[in-house]
Amino acid sequence: MSNEKIINLDDINYAIYKIGDWSNHYEINQIGLSREIPVTKSTVLHVKLSMEEIRNTKFDIEDKTINGFVVFALQLNPNVKNMELDDVIALEEEEYQNILKEIDDLELLDDNGTIPLDSEEYLIYKLQKEHHLTTSTPANEFTRQFYKQELKKIEDALD
């Protein structure tokens, strides 16, 4: 008998992605800057809730109330830092709508299926609720290595 851990694709305790590219180019929306494409209904729901949480976080800048994605972009993205605030706000809204459309058009795996936890075909994150936040931790070595590479790319881009 195999000791291999199997995950049900409808398990809300895991977020499962494939490595890929979004159809559109994104400057602001961190979901669109990622190469992680959701492959399950529960992962899509998690991604949408995460985006809503960031968008519902409000800040006041230049007599305007802006959302968390705009703030992140203004702080971290050199391509956005010199844009007019109204243009950044409009770009964030456009990107948000495009991401929603792309997510809604994804071909997802059947919720009745399973995959091995140690899959090297999918990125698998264990989701855990801590107070009001959901944290995601790489659940296997393949995902850990991808995650490390992505963090390194981000660090290099910020230097």
pTM: 0.88
* pLDDT tens-place string over residues 110-159: 999 999 999 999 999 999 888 777 889 999 999 999 989 888 876 776 66
Tokens of 119: 């899959």
* The one-letter amino acid at 128: Q
* pLDDT tens-place string over residues 1-39: 456 799 999 999 999 999 999 999 998 887 877 899 999
Look-up of token digits 């809300």: 12
